Structure 1
Amino acid sequence: MDFDQEDGKNMMMKGIWVNVVVLVTIAIATKLVLQLWWRPRKVAKHYSNQGIKGPPYNIFIGNMKELVEMMLKASSQPMTLSHNILPRVLPFYHHWKKLYGATYLIWFGPTPRLTIADPGQIREILSTKAEFYEKYESHPLVKKLEGHGLISLKGDVWVHRRKTISPIFHLENLKMMIPIMGKSVAHMLDKWSLISNSGKVELEVSEWFQNLTEEVITRTIFGASYDDGKKIYQLQAKQIVFAAESFQKVFFPGQRFLPTKRNRTTWKLDREIEASLMKLISQRKESLLRRREEEEGVGVGVGVRVRDGGEGEECHRDLLEILIEASMSNNNNKNTSEKKITDNDIVEECKSFFFAGKHTTSNLLIWTSILLAMHPQWQQLAREEVMRVCGARDIPTKDDVSNLKTLSMIISEVLRLYPPVVATIRRAKTQVDLGDINIKEETELLVPILAVHHDTTIWGPDASEFNPSRFSQGVSRAATHPTTFMPFGLGGRQCIGQNLALLQAKLAIAMILQKFTFEISPNYKHAPTVLMLLYPQFGAPIIFRSL
């Protein structure tokens, strides 16, 4: 009898567990059906009723298979020396636009994504109604490199941080860096002259410009602590190489957590970078406290620094100093719980600005050199202007750089044709009207910057041609719509470092034009492609000749 009761209890428990498993399985299956089939159908119908179509949704993978196939095919071989790069760089947009129009729906897995290329709607997303949209989360590998700083922050924390950092990137503060930038460029050009054979040399300029911008961004961030900062960023440069290699391999969720040899190396680099930055922050805090005491004692002005050589001279304020001062002043802020800047925040900002600043500016220099090499008539016009404005000065002054109007037009045209970021993504935080489109919550909106920059209805029939004169009346009058030029973004989240990038590019190109003429090497293969930013897939070999 007891055995029968025990067996009965066991049977009952087994029955309960079977029922639990069945219920859990049904719940999971139901959720998957809702997420992977019912919800996409409902979203597709919502947009279809508004006249918005797109390629059909495939369960779980969406349109990823077709998209990846188009990207791989487009990048499989170089193109002709043409600036009509949209079919190669954004082949999926180019292809589906022809079938469904400029606004269409695609699927990244089960996530809906609308492409938005209308200037008025883009302005709403990025500027006038930006509060309804949030920044898209970066790929895990990119997020690791860019740090959890201003680039990825949101809401009130982002507002406060941007306000804190903005003074560093005011143009007048950056102009104080021109002598330092100029020395770095001059040092690079001296090396070019030394390695030239009979006044002629072929250079792969990518690495040269990356080293140059690395030096300048390190001085922008660390100032007087440049030597220590350089050692830290040599470590981060290694991280970037690892990430670039990883992007070219198959990536699956959770891979970055596995203890592979590559991951163990990057984890070690992480620890070294953080420890070095923390040590440097501590040293600079002590130095700032000592300097404050000295300045209060002798009445030294805030805008003057006494350099190692002993001469008082005006110089720029660096990012590290401003962030440390902000963190030290939190004690007097009633809202420190919301806005306090910690040492860890400073670490993340230093990582963010090195990653973004180095690659954005170096890419601008690379493409400007390529396009001037491809268009010798504009190279000569820019050189004549540089010689006229700068004269025999080895390093142009801040007034010289401001007066290089033709060079400014050229750089704007380079940024139009070859923007560093070819597209940007936002996510709707709530259901919202965008022009005449009703956007469902959590729909992602893709703004194809490159496509907008090459649109003939906006820029004219020569939209895919290199014509810097279109900017002769300024950026706002270059196109039919004033907000369609957005190489550094648009609205409140516009790249805070754009003044630094433009200033450094103008100075470097001006100094190159003073000493060299240059042309495309026969070894150059025109192959713009995207790996985080737009870059030449097979490098940028250019032939330089001394003047």
Structure 2
Amino acid sequence: MWWPWSWQGTALAAAAWLCLQLAVARLMEALWWRPRRLERHFARHGVRGPGYRFFFGSSIELIRLMVDASSRPAPPEAPHDVLPRVLAFYHHWRKLYGPMHLIWFGTTPRLIVSEPELIREVLLSRAEHFDRYEANPLIRQFEGLGLSNLHGDEWARRRKILTPAFHVENLKPLVPFVTETVQRMLEERVLSPAAAAAGGEVEVDVAEWYQRLPQDVITLATFGRNYEEGSVVFRLQGEHASYATEAHSKVFIPGYRFLPTRKNRRVWQLDREIRRLLGKFVTGLQSGGDHRGARDHGRAGGMKDFMSFMAPTMTADEIVEESKNFFFAGKETLTSLLTWATVALAMHPEWQDRARREVVAVCGRRGAPTKVHLPRLKALGMVVNETLRLYPPAVAMIRKAKRDVDLGGCAVPAGTEIMMPVMAVHHDAGVWGADATEFNPERFADGGDRPRQQMAFMPFGGGGRVCIGQNLALIEAKVALALVLQRCEFRLSPAYVHAPRVLMILNPQHGAPVIFRPL
């Protein structure tokens, strides 16, 4: 009996040793040999970068560059030259390795592409070779498994369902509600008796103040409900955002999000509560329940709310995921745009005066902007576009090569991520001219000297996956800015520090305090 047992034990030990060797080999293949092969492959095509470091890739150096840049404000002599601060790693490595270079996010290669013609290939002419990259699971959980994170046939199905909802003609009836909301915001904070008693001027952090507008509008547009019923979801989403933001800058460690750490347990709790509240909204509306919100359908001016498009063809879970996406993307994008437009106009009073004169000429001294007025606000539209050029809410886009593909003469292996730094293109003097880092809305005038490259200006992305909500954001922005200009003069507070930074979306690191004086 001893020999058979000994032989079996020896065989098991050998099998275990073999399995261990295979596991170690696979681990080394993923963590070292494959990245080194890919590094040599790109080097043969003339593409270099900061070099791969075991497990962390370029992440440690990237974070060091970003932290160092965030410790200093933008230069006062060139306040809009913010690229070295916002995308410090790109600015640094581009000078060393050129406009196309290779960095590593953990073990994943990221090819940086900043030439408009190559970006056009990725997003348009050869788009079938690329797909959206897989974001950190914590970020996907926060944003929702909606249009931003879907792929393939399911993405195409959802896009087809939702495109009519975001058509400009369906959104125009929202203009009176946007006007009403902004007027209420002004009366409560800027034009209040308390502000008048304090000398007529009031300081407001617009980065926080503007958040109410998209919260109200998105809740109404999606569910036909008012702010009070949707505010709880936004508060929970705001806390969830802090955890998603933290994950955004870290190397993804598979399985870590399932560990019952204090943060993970809180994230799970937030996700359950957000799903419960949104599910309650969805179930009530799908069943035709009133839920005290029927009056808000009238406040939308006859607009067909997003639920009307989703409910007939999407499951409750799908609607919940898409709604989470609306709440995040709609709120953060518009808040960023309004914040930086207000800051820019405060920095450039000549453009503030010009835009105000236009608003008064078109809308009257106290007349509310209407959907008829919006196309006539040319100067304001130029200001919005120039703000989006200098301060795009999403400073970069990432795609992933689905198969081996040639890009600009470089053979890009399947699985490589392609990062397109939107802000870098928008600030490129070779694309926009010598004044690329100056605030000059005139470049967007009819017949203005704008670049001819198709992907020179892409604040909402490009190609088939262009932001579906851009029409809504532009309508809200023009109405809100028109009312603020009509009712107030404003300047930057002495406490303001110009320090744009990116935490998923471009925002002011130290807030954006602005002093308003009613007119």
TM range, smaller chain: over 0.9
| Counterparts of 1:158 and 1:251, CA distance in 2 | 24
Q: 1:39 offset after TM fit, Å?
A: 2.0
Q: Kindly provide the CA deviation profile for residues 135-180 of structure 1, in whole angstroms up to 9, marking residues without a partner as x.
A: 0112223211110111111111111111111111111111100001
CA contact (8 A) 1:320 1:350 kept: no
Residue 334 of structure 1 is matched in structure 2 by: none
Q: Distance in 1 between matches of 2:303 and 2:216?
A: 15
Do residues 390 (structure 1) and 363 (structure 2) align?
A: yes
CA positional deviation for 1:363:
0.7
2:108 to 106, 111, 126: 111
What is the Cα deviation at residue 392 of structure 1? 3.2
Change (3 A) 1:263 1:379: same
Q: Give the alignment of 1:266-277 within 5 angstroms.
A: 266-277=267-278
Identify the residue that residue 488 of structure 1 maps to in structure 2. Answer: 460
* Structure 1 residues 451 and 58: CA distance shift in structure 2, 3 A: same
2:103 and 2:251 map into 1 onto residues whose CA distance is 22
Scaled by the length of structure 2, the TM-score of the pair is 0.93
2:288: which partner in 1?
A: 287
Q: Which residue of 1 aligns with 2:302?
A: 315
CA distance, structure 2, for counterparts of residue 499 and residue 312 of structure 1: 19
Q: Deviations over 1:233-263 (max 9, x none)?
A: 4433343345446768998554432334443
Alpha-carbon distance in structure 2 between the residues aligned to 1:448 and 1:423: 4
Q: What is aligned with 1:338?
A: none
The residue that corresponds to 1:467 in the other structure is 440
Please give the residue correspondences for 1:50-449 in structure 2 after superposition, counting only pairs within 5 Å: 50-81=45-76, 82-191=79-188, 192-194=190-192, 195-196=194-195, 197-224=198-225, 228-244=229-245, 253-287=254-288, 308=295, 315-325=302-312, 327=313, 341-449=314-422
CA separation of 1:266 and 1:32: change in aligned 2, threshold 3 A:
closer
Q: CA deviation at 1:435?
A: 3.0
Q: What does residue 36 of structure 1 align with?
A: 31
Q: Supply the AA of the counterpart residue of 1:23.
A: L
Question: How many angstroms does 1:431 deviate by?
Answer: 0.6
Residues 207, 512 of structure 2: 8 Å contact kept: yes
1:519 aligned partner: 491
* Contact 2:279–2:320 (CA under 8 A) maintained in structure 1: yes
Aligned to 1:300: none
Q: Relative to structure 2, which stretch is displaced further, 187-196 or 443-452?
A: 187-196
**SS of the residue 1:203 aligns to:** strand
Number of aligned residues: 511
CA deviation map 1:186-222 (0-9, x unaligned) = 0001011114222111111111111222111111111
Distance in 1, matches of 2:420 and 2:299, equals 48
Question: Residues 513, 248 of structure 1: CA spacing in aligned structure 2 closer, same or farther, 3 A cutoff?
Answer: same
Instruction: Single out whichever of 401-410 and 27-36 deviates more from structure 2.
Output: 27-36
CA contact (8 A) 2:345 2:351 kept: yes
Larger deviation, residues 245-254 vs 77-86: 245-254
Deviation at 1:13, TM superposition (A): 2.8
Q: Deviations over 1:496-545 (max 9, x none)?
A: 00011111011001100011111111101111111111110000011111
**Secondary structure of 1:409 counterpart:** helix
Q: Which runs of 5+ in 1 are unaligned?
A: 291-305, 328-340
Following TM superposition, by how much is the alpha carbon of 1:361 offset from its aligned partner in structure 2, in angstroms? 0.4
CA distance in 2, matches of 1:108, 1:244: 16
1:26 is aligned, of 11, 16, 21, to: 21
Q: Distance in 2 between matches of 1:26 and 1:308?
A: 67
- 1:429 CA drift (Å): 0.5
Change (3 A) 1:107 1:243: closer
Task: State the structure with more CA Rg.
Answer: 1
2: distance between equivalents of 1:184 and 1:274? 27
SS in 2 for 1:445: strand
- Report the TM-score, using the length of structure 1 for normalisation: 0.88
Q: Indicate if the aligned counterparts of 1:278 and 1:343 stay in contact, CA closer than 8 A.
A: yes
Over 3 Å counting, the alpha-carbon distance change for 1:62 and 1:353 in structure 2 is same
Q: Is the 8 A contact 2:236 2:274 kept in 1?
A: yes
For residue 456 of structure 1, report the CA deviation from its aligned partner: 0.4
CA contact (8 A) 1:470 1:478 kept: yes
Q: Is the 8 A contact 1:228 1:280 kept in 2?
A: no
> What is the identity, as a one-letter code, of the residue corresponding to 1:458?
V
- Structure 1 residues 264 and 32, CA, compared in 2 at 3 Å: closer, same or farther? closer
Q: In structure 2, how many angstroms separate the alpha carbons of the residues matched to 1:266 and 1:46?
A: 40
Cα distance in 1 for residues equivalent to 2:300 and 2:105: 55
Q: Secondary structure at the match of 1:177?
A: helix
SS at match of 2:368: coil
Task: Summarize the Cα distance change of 1:282–1:491 in structure 2 as closer, same or farther, 3 Å threshold.
Answer: same
| Stretch of structure 1 that moved more, 144-153 or 49-58 | 49-58
Measure, in 2, the Cα distance between the counterparts of 1:230 and 1:324.
Answer: 22
Structure 2 distance, partners of 1:344, 1:218, is 18
Q: Which runs of 5+ in 2 are unaligned?
A: none
